[in-house]
Amino acid sequence: MKRILLTTLIAGTLDILAAYINIYIRTGHLSKHMFQYIAGGALGLKNSLNGGIPVILLGIFFHYFITFSFTLSFFLLYRKNRVFGINPYLAALFLGIFIWAVMNLVVLPLSALPGGNFDIGRAIIDALILSVAIGLPVSMSARASITNNNTGS
């Protein structure tokens, strides 16, 4: 569990940093409301943008909780199905695509956030960002946990 929590912290932090960089590249500005936007999935965008520190903390909680959920799920699947272990980079790519699909096709449509237009270029970039920021550290950490358990470490 300690490895899963540490992996969640690393992957979640890399993901949020990548999100800030991605938005800066697209708009030329750093987002001041990233975590309020995340909290907007539960509170509605208007309510969350009017919220202060408690809403920001809720957004941080949601962000890391979602990252934890994907990390824990991958670790559990990894132990059951060694096909993920054949190539950690391929597993990272598939995990990033899977996370993008779940978030954009299931979670966000069910949230209180307004819908957006689909852009294939942006979707590919976002899935690749998720593959590197979350998929790679999760895949490598899951592989290391199995390797360490098999060697007796």
What are the boundaries of each domain within the chain?
2-33+62-144
Residue 12 has pLDDT above 90, yes or no: yes
Residue 152 has pLDDT above 90, yes or no: no
> What are the φ/ψ torsions at residue 128 (nearest 5 degrees)?
-70, -40
The one-character DSSP state at 99 is H
Provide the whole-model pTM: 0.87
Tell me how far apart the alpha carbons of residues 97 and 126 are, in angstroms, rounded to a whole number.
Answer: 9
pLDDT of residue 117: 87
pLDDT of residue 150: 57
pLDDT of residue 153: 46
Q: How confident is the model at residue 149 (pLDDT cuts 50, 70, 90)?
A: low
The sign one gets for the Cα dihedral 124, 125, 128, 134 is negative
pLDDT tens figures, 21-80:
999 998 999 988 999 999 999 999 999 999 899 999 999 999 999 999 999 999 888 877
Q: What is the mean pLDDT of residues 3-17?
A: 95
Tell me how far apart the alpha carbons of residues 49 and 33 are, in angstroms, rounded to a whole number.
Answer: 7
pLDDT tens figures, 79-123:
777 666 678 899 899 999 999 999 999 999 999 888 888 899 999
